[in-house]
Amino acid sequence: MAAKLDFLSLLTGCFATPVAENPTVVMVEAAYRAMGLDARYINCDVAPADLGDAVRGARAMGWRGFNCSLPHKVAVIDFIDELAPSAEIIGAVNCVINDDGRLIGENTDGKGFLASLREVVDPKGKHVVVLGAGGASRAVAVETALAGAASITIVNRDAARGKAVVQLVAANTAADTLFVPWTGDYAIPPDTDVLINATSIGLFPGVDDRPAVDFASIRPGMVVADVIPNPPHTAFLKAAEARGARTLDGLGMLVNQGVVGIRLWTGREPDAKVMRGALEAVFAG
Ligand code: NDP
C-alpha cells in the first residue's frame, strides 16, 4: 500500500528590516533537520508599513509562528491577540506563536539569557548589575528579576532610559532596584554576583571596544556575561576572564532564545549543540 503523502511543511520565520544578515535561520533550520522535522524558517524583509499585512498573511497561511526583530518588536503587539506575562512587562515581542489561530506574543531574549545564566548560577537572591538600558537590557533585567534576583542595578549614560528600566523592574518584580548614571570607568560594587554587558559595545566590527568599567573591581569568581553574539569572545569577556571571572557569551543567549522559540512552535526539544555549531560556522566564515 502506498504511504500517505504529506508535502505541507511547518512554516516559521523572521519579520524584520533589514533581515538579510540575520543568521537565526541557519541555526533554526539546522535544528529542524537534526530533529527530522519537515519545517522551514524563512527570513522576510518586512517594511514597517507592511507589518500588519505580513502578520495577517502568516495567519492566513497557517504559519506556526515567527520571530520579530528590529524595528517590529513593539509594533507587532497591535496585530496579535495576546501577550505572555514577561512580554507584557517588557513591552516587546520577539517571538509569536500561532495557537490554533490565536497569535500569542512572547519575549524569548530574556528567557534565552536566563537559560544561559542558569547553566552557571541560579540568579535567586543574587545582586545583578546591568550595563545599558535598551531592549536587551529590559529583557535581561526583567527576566532575571522575575527569577528572584535580590537586586538589579542599571548603569546607563542616558538617565531617562536607565530610570525607565529601573521603574519597569521595580513596578513588576520584588527585586530592589538602583539607577547609576554612567560617567567614566564604572567601579563594580563589591557585593555584585552577576555583571552583564547589555549595551551594543563590542559588536562586530567594533571588536576591540569594551564598556567603560574599572576592570580591577571585577572579583575572581564573579559571573560576567555579554549579550554580544558576534564575536562570541568579546574584549569585555577577555578582560573579565583575566580578572578570574566566570564568563557567559552572547552566542549562548542567542542559541537559548532559539531553543525556547522552537520548543514553543513544535512542542519538541531541539539540540542546542547543533544550533550553536551552525552559528559558530557562520561567524567563523
Ligand atoms: P539599543 O540600541 O536598544 O540599546 C543600546 C544600549 O547600549 C543603550 O543603553 C546605549 O546607551 C548603550 N550604549 C551604546 N553605545 C554605548 C557607549 N559607547 N557607551 C555606553 N553605552 C552605550 O540596543 P539593544 O538593547 O536592542 O541591543 C543591544 C545589543 O544586544 C545588540 O548589540 C544586540 O546584538 C544584542 N542582543 C543580543 C541578543 C542575543 O540573543 N545574544 C538578543 C538581543 C540583543 P544610551 O541609552 O545611553 O544611548
Per-residue pLDDT tens over the stretch 66-110? 999 999 999 999 999 999 998 999 999 999 999 999 999 999 999
Q: What is the pLDDT of residue 285?
A: 74
Question: Which has the closest alpha carbon to 86: 108, 69, 68, 66?
Answer: 108
pLDDT over 80 at 164, yes or no: yes
Q: What is the pLDDT of residue 283?
A: 85
- Number of neighbouring beta carbons within 10 Å of residue 159: 13
Q: Is 247 helix (H, G, I), strand (E, B) or coil?
A: strand
pLDDT, tens only, 11-36: 999 999 999 989 999 999 999 999 99
d(CA 261, CA 39): 13
pLDDT over 80 at 6, yes or no: yes
Q: Say if CB 173 and CB 140 are below 8 A apart.
A: no
Q: Which residues line ligand 1 (CB under 6 A)?
A: 109, 112, 132-137, 156-158, 161, 182, 199-201, 203, 227-229, 250, 253-254, 257
Residue with cell 571585577: 218
Residue 219 vs residues 149, 171, 201, 276: alpha-carbon distances, Å: 19, 31, 22, 29
Question: Which has the closest alpha carbon to 117: 141, 92, 83, 86?
Answer: 141
Q: Say if CB 205 and CB 230 are below 8 A apart.
A: no
Positions annotated as catalytic residues are 73
CA 37 to centroid of ligand 1, rounded, Å: 35
**Residues contacting 276, CB < 8 A, separation 6+:** 27, 251, 252, 255
Q: How confident is the model at residue 266 (pLDDT cuts 50, 70, 90)?
A: very high
Enter the C-alpha cell of residue 10: 511547518
Q: How confident is the model at residue 225 (pLDDT cuts 50, 70, 90)?
A: very high
Q: How confident is the model at residue 245 (pLDDT cuts 50, 70, 90)?
A: very high
Q: Which of 106, 111, 131, 199 to mutate to test the pocket of ligand 1 (most atoms within 8 A of CB)?
A: 199
| Domains in the chain, CATH or no CATH each | 10-107+252-284 (3.40.50.10860), 110-248 (3.40.50.720)
Q: Say if CB 44 and CB 14 are below 8 A apart.
A: yes
pLDDT, tens only, 169-190: 999 999 999 999 999 999 999 9
pLDDT over 70 at 160, yes or no: yes
CA 280 to centroid of ligand 1, rounded, Å: 22
Q: How is the beta sheet containing 246-248 ordered, strand by strand?
A: 176-181, 151-156, 127-131, 194-197, 223-226, 246-248
Question: Which has the closest alpha carbon to 146: 163, 168, 164, 161?
Answer: 168
Ligand 1 atom showing the smallest separation from residue 113 Cα: 40
Q: Say if CB 13 and CB 67 are below 8 A apart.
A: yes
Q: How confident is the model at residue 1 (pLDDT cuts 50, 70, 90)?
A: low
The neighbouring-strand residues paired with 152 are 128, 177
Q: Counting every residue, how long is the chain?
A: 285
pLDDT, mean of residues 256-280:
97
CA 203 to centroid of ligand 1, rounded, Å: 9
d(CA 279, CA 230): 10
Q: Say if CB 197 and CB 128 are below 8 A apart.
A: no
CA 108 to centroid of ligand 1, rounded, Å: 17
Nearest CA to ligand 1 atom 32: 200
Which element (helix H / strand E) includes 256? helix 250-266
pLDDT, mean of residues 253-269:
97
Which element (helix H / strand E) includes 90? helix 85-90
Above pLDDT 90, what percent of the chain?
Answer: 95
